[in-house]
């Protein structure tokens, strides 16, 4: 129980870490992009407002200063001063913009704000306009009040010499408020977008993490030995495909484990039976004081038969081991397939006769050309197929074998007249360790080895139930690689 709780906590930590990594990896780029957009928008909107205000002031300053320079500056200081005072008195935007007339020393002579008369603003737009005889602007804090302002200074000339400055000054408080509201609006939009991204990602990652947690738990149960465990599949996307694959893997592992257990049990039994017979008859012969030749020959024949069975089983196990680790190879050469098959027929015919089984053989018309193959491996297949026919279909007391040519293939066919193979077992009969409902002796890997050998020859190894009863094995080998 403690181990299970520890595992659940560890899974929770890992899944939490997965959520965090997912959020960081997906949200961070969006956050950076939104911040960049907000910064660019703030800079753009600020520049737009400030530029528009500056251009408006410059346009008005140019118009007013131009009128003074063209009509009033040449008539003397008195007329200039009178017109400056008149301009101050008639200025309509004095609630938003301050109009100032400044002398060459930088002090205000008259202004729409009487409080500033006689003071020196101290901003560099005034000194630069006087020194350069060009319109200049200033944006920053007023040295006297500390308020953020925008000012435009246009020089006033007499005989080509700067004698004063006409200056427009306005506060940036209202503009900054508009800029702040605009930036606040874009920030709010960015926050909403960011929230939607985070929420959508959380929903998505939860839809991914939960199945991952289920699959992780199932994989742990399978690795702990719960073979055959299945996950309920509630998904129709790639996660559903993953769950199906996990379930399929679990079932196949369960089947393989079951077949392996049956194989170990079967091999143990198969090894024990001949060893018991060999040991028993060896002791009988050794302790027989009469030395009866009949008894002696009978015992030796049993010992030889059981030894042959043991050798066959050991060979099958060795071949299977080579198949599993990739050492199963062929020694290819030109093979007279008919001669190799007839050798196997000759070998088994007498053995079958002793068991009361008739082995019929029919060769094709004419000689068959040699084909590429491994003669030892092919003979091993023929012997295994004939032995299986007697073992599983010997009750029919008859086995028929034939070899013939069909197109570009040479076909070897072996049929018994026994009970056949149940239809439900036919798809699995060539699988390793599979014995099905058969009670005959064997390791359950002989047909798997045969299928592997024929496959390496680019041939086809098929097993089916024959019409009229019995089982038919067909081996098709190509005449050319």
pLDDT in tens, 276-294: 777 887 887 777 777 777 7
Q: How confident is the model at residue 16 (pLDDT cuts 50, 70, 90)?
A: low
Does one domain contain both 424 and 294? no
The reply to whether 302 falls in a domain is yes
Q: How confident is the model at residue 1 (pLDDT cuts 50, 70, 90)?
A: very low
pLDDT at 354 over 70: yes
pLDDT in tens, 84-133: 888 888 888 888 899 999 998 889 989 988 777 788 888 999 999 999 99
The reply to whether 185 falls in a domain is no
**Average pLDDT of the chain to the nearest whole number:** 81
Question: Can you give the pLDDT at residue 187?
Answer: 92
Does one domain contain both 165 and 296? no
Q: CB-based burial of residue 443 (10 Å sphere; 0-12 exposed, 13-18 middle, 19+ buried)?
A: buried
Question: Can you give the pLDDT at residue 330?
Answer: 80
d(CA 21, CA 440): 59
Does one domain contain both 316 and 344? no
d(CA 420, CA 452): 23
- Strand 409-416 to 398-406 pairing: antiparallel
Q: What is the mean pLDDT of residues 415-436?
A: 78
pLDDT at 446 over 80: no
The reply to whether 232 falls in a domain is no
Hey, which residues does 141 pair with through a beta bridge?
A: 148
Q: Which of the listed ranges 84-88, 260-264, 344-348, 474-478 does the model predict with the highest average pLDDT?
A: 474-478
Question: Can you give the pLDDT at residue 170?
Answer: 92
d(CA 157, CA 132): 12
The reply to whether 401 falls in a domain is yes
Does one domain contain both 368 and 301? no
Structure tokens, 275: 């060893």
Question: Can you give the pLDDT at residue 117?
Answer: 78
> In what side-by-side order are the strands of the sheet with 97-103?
108-111, 97-103, 161-171, 148-158, 136-141
pLDDT in tens, 147-190: 999 999 999 988 878 889 999 999 999 899 999 999 999 999 99
d(CA 135, CA 62): 8
pLDDT at 19 over 70: no
Question: Can you give the pLDDT at residue 396?
Answer: 79
Question: Can you give the pLDDT at residue 15?
Answer: 52
The reply to whether 148 falls in a domain is yes
Does one domain contain both 251 and 350? no
In sequence order, which residues have a C-beta less than 8 Å from that of residue 471 and are 6 or more positions away?
Answer: 389, 392, 393, 415, 416, 418, 420, 421, 463, 464, 465
Q: What is the mean pLDDT of residues 443-457?
A: 81
Does one domain contain both 301 and 413? no
Does one domain contain both 291 and 244? yes
Q: How confident is the model at residue 143 (pLDDT cuts 50, 70, 90)?
A: confident
Q: CB-based burial of residue 371 (10 Å sphere; 0-12 exposed, 13-18 middle, 19+ buried)?
A: buried
Q: How confident is the model at residue 253 (pLDDT cuts 50, 70, 90)?
A: confident
The reply to whether 365 falls in a domain is yes
Does one domain contain both 98 and 118? yes
Last residue of a domain, one of 294, 321, 348: 321
Does one domain contain both 375 and 289? no
pLDDT at 370 over 80: yes
- Lowest mean per-residue pLDDT among 4-18, 303-317, 326-340: 4-18
Q: What is the CATH number for 268?
A: 1.10.287.130
Structure tokens, 481: 């690689």
d(CA 249, CA 242): 10
Q: Give which of 69, 57, 58 is closest to 156, Cα–Cα.
A: 69
d(CA 360, CA 183): 99
Task: Render 235-281 in DSSP notation, one character per residue.
Answer: --SHHHHHHHHHHHHHHHHHHHHHHHHHHHHHHHHHHHHHHHHHHHH
The reply to whether 183 falls in a domain is no
Percent residues over pLDDT 90 in the chain? 25
The reply to whether 120 falls in a domain is yes
Question: Can you give the pLDDT at residue 69?
Answer: 82
Is the CB of residue 334 less than 8 Å from the CB of residue 481? no
Does one domain contain both 333 and 310? no
Is the CB of residue 385 less than 8 Å from the CB of residue 414? yes
Is the CB of residue 389 less than 8 Å from the CB of residue 416? yes
- Lowest mean per-residue pLDDT among 98-102, 320-324, 385-389: 320-324
Report helix angle 238-287 to 293-325, nearest 10: 160
Q: What is the CATH number for 336?
A: 3.30.565.10
Q: Give which of 151, 76, 75, 78 is closest to 113, Cα–Cα.
A: 151
Q: Is the pTM of this model over 0.85?
A: no
Query: What is the extent of the structural domain holding 404?
Result: 329-478
Question: Can you give the pLDDT at residue 37?
Answer: 92
pLDDT at 345 over 60: yes
Last residue of a domain, one of 258, 287, 321: 321
Q: Which of the listed ranges 280-284, 355-359, 450-454, 474-478 does the model predict with the highest average pLDDT?
A: 474-478
Find the DSSP H helices in 326-435. Answer: 337-354, 375-393
Does one domain contain both 169 and 28? yes
Q: What is the CATH number for 40?
A: 3.30.450.20
Last residue of a domain, one of 154, 176, 198: 176
pLDDT at 8 over 80: no
Domain total in the chain: 3
Does one domain contain both 10 and 138? yes
Q: What is the mean pLDDT of residues 31-48?
A: 91
């Amino acid at each position: 129980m403690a181990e299970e709780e520890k595992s659940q906590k560890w899974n929770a930590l890992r899944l939490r870490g997965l959520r965090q990594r997912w959020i960081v990896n997906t949200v961070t780029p969006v956050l950076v992009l939104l911040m960049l957009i907000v910064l660019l928008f703030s800079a753009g909107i600020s520049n737009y407002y400030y530029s528009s205000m500056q251009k408006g002031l410059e346009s008005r300053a140019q118009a007013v200063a131009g009128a003074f320079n063209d009509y009033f500056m040449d008539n003397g200081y008195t007329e200039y001063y009178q017109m400056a005072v008149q301009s101050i008195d008639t200025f309509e935007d004095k609630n938003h913009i301050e109009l100032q007339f400044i002398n060459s020393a930088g002090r205000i002579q008259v202004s729409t704000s009487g409080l500033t008369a006689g003071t020196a603003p101290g901003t560099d737009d005034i000194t630069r306009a006087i020194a350069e005889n060009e319109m200049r602007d200033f944006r920053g804090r007023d040295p006297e009040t500390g308020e953020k302002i925008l000012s435009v200074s246009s020089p006033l000339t007499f005989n080509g010499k700067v004698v004063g400055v006409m200056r427009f000054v306005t506060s940036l408080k209202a503009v900054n408020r508009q800029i702040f509201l605009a930036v606040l609006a874009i920030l709010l939009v960015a926050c909403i977008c960011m929230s939607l991204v985070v929420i959508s990602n959380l929903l998505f990652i939860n839809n991914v993490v939960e199945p991952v947690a289920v699959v992780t738990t199932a994989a742990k149960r399978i690795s702990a030995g719960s073979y055959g465990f299945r996950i309920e599949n509630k998904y129709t996307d790639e996660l559903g495909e993953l769950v199906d694959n996990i379930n399929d893997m679990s079932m196949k592992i369960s089947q393989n484990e079951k077949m392996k257990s049956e194989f170990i049990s079967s091999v143990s039994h198969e090894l024990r039976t001949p060893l018991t017979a060999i040991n028993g008859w060896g002791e009988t012969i050794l302790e027989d004081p009469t030395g009866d030749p009949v008894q002696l020959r009978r015992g030796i024949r049993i010992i030889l038969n059981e030894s042959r069975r043991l050798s066959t089983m050991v060979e099958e196990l060795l071949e299977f081991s080579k198949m599993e680790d990739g050492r199963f190879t062929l020694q290819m050469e030109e093979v007279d397939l008919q001669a190799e098959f007839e050798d196997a027929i000759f070998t088994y015919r007498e053995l079958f006769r002793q068991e009361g089984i008739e082995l019929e053989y029919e060769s094709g018309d004419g000689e068959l050309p040699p084909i590429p193959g491994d003669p030892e491996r092919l003979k091993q297949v023929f012997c295994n197929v004939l032995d299986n026919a007697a073992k599983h279909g010997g009750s029919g007391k008859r086995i028929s074998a034939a070899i013939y040519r069909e197109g570009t293939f040479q076909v070897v066919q072996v049929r018994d007249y026994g009970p056949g193979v149940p239809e439900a077992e036919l798809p699995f009969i060539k699988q390793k360790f599979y014995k099905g409902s058969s009670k005959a002796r064997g390791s359950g890997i002989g047909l798997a080895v045969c299928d592997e050998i024929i496959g390496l020859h680019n041939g086809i190894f098929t097993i089916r139930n024959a019409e009229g009863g019995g089982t038919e094995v067909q081996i098709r080998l190509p005449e050319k690689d």
